[in-house]
Amino acid sequence: MQIAFLSWGAARRLLALAIPFIACATLSFAERASSSEQPVDASAQGTSASQAAISLPSGQAGMLNVVVLDPAHGGVDYGARGTEGVRESEVVMEFAVQVRRALESQGFQVVQTRLGNEDPTFDERSAVANAQQGAVFVTLHVASTGLPGTARVYVNEDLAVEPDVTRLIPWERAQAPFLSLSRKLGDLVQGQLAQRFKGSPGSEQSAAVRQLRTTAAPAIAVEISSVTVENRNDLDRMAPGVADAIAKGVAAFKPSYVVAGTAGVKP
């Protein structure tokens, strides 16, 4: 699978092209449109319904079919580090292998923001997701704190978007129209994690996660506790459960996410 790393300028241009579609995709979900011909209240999102007529690039049109998986950090950025030499950037890469396998077994196409020890910027990682249509974004983290053996799902805090004359979603606020979808996805994945890891919260939590803010898709951060484990195997043993929980959560979310321009499904 080819992964496109985009420059900042290219990413912005790409998002500018994609934004009208993004806005309508959100509307489509919000209004539970049952037909592609059904008009949407474009004024609410500041775009016209006709702008949604952008063909889907690949996959099953109109449905969630792509998961952008983001193993956080990388390169010289190790992320959280434990006293026993556990590095967040390495653990999340190994978790990503299992998460990817579990998602693919559910029929999803998986695109990773990094496959090796690179360290793409926050915007480059977001650009991978923003270039997709009908995708969700999952960023993987390992904490320095928290009860060992637990996992938490975060969605971005509320983001205010001031309507402007361009009627475009600013890159810096790309997550704003997707927050309700992100919360739904987060609750579904967190519910699955809570079943597998005792002591984990029952529902998603809000946090100002930088990576999520510029992502124009339903987006969650999954954080495992923690790098402070004395034995790295304690973390590794969590990987299959985390992978299964994410895959099942995303699969449960799939009927809720209806991309504009195609027939919708009422949940």
Partner 1 sequence: MIIGLAFVVGAAAIYLPALRRHVKRTAKLVQQTEEQARRELTQALSPTPTGPRVKTKLFWASGTEGPRLAAVTVELPLADDPVLRAKQVLNTLLAGPVDSDLRTLPPDAALLEFYLLPDGTGIADFSEALGTSIPSGIDSEQLAVDSITRTLEANVPQVQRLKILIHGQEVDTLAGHLDLTETFVVNTKPASAPAVKPAKAG
Choice from 142, 189, 216, 220 touching partner 1 (CB under 8 A): 142
Residue type, position 246, single letter: I
For residues 200 and 194, give the distance between their C-alpha atoms in angstroms, rounded to a whole number: 5
Nearest to 161 by CA among 176, 175, 178: 176
- Count residues near partner 1 (CB under 8 A): 30
Q: What is the helix (H) or strand (E) element at residue 25, kind and residue range? A: helix 8-30
8 A C-beta contact, residue 89 and residue 81: no
* Residue 220 found at the interface with partner 1 (CB under 8 A): no
Piece of 100-108, 129-137, 144-152, 177-185 that binds partner 1 (CB under 8 A) = 144-152
Choice from 100, 114, 184, 213 touching partner 1 (CB under 8 A): 213
* Dihedral, 107, 109, 113, 117 alpha carbons, nearest 10: 70
Choice from 6, 73, 188, 197 touching partner 1 (CB under 8 A): 73
Nearest to 223 by CA among 237, 204, 240: 204
**Which CB sits closer to partner 1, 146 or 240?**
146
* Residue 216 found at the interface with partner 1 (CB under 8 A): no
Count of other CB atoms within 10 angstroms of residue 184: 19
Kindly state the smallest distance separating residue 142's Cβ from partner 1, in Å. Answer: 8
- Give the torsion sign (CA, 77, 146, 125, 194): positive
Return the bridge partners of 156, or none: 207
Choice from 7, 105, 117, 145 touching partner 1 (CB under 8 A): 145
* Residue 146 found at the interface with partner 1 (CB under 8 A): yes
* Residue 203 found at the interface with partner 1 (CB under 8 A): no
* Residue 87 found at the interface with partner 1 (CB under 8 A): no
Kindly state the smallest distance separating residue 259's Cβ from partner 1, in Å. Answer: 27
Count of other CB atoms within 10 angstroms of residue 121: 12
Choice from 12, 81, 196, 232 touching partner 1 (CB under 8 A): 81
List the structure tokens of 239: 């990987």
Choice from 209, 238, 250, 251 touching partner 1 (CB under 8 A): 209
End-to-end CA distance of the chain, in Å? 32
In the complex, the residues that contact partner 1 under the rule CB under 8 A are 72-73, 77, 79-81, 88, 122, 141-147, 152, 154, 159, 172, 199, 207-211, 213, 221, 223, 225-226
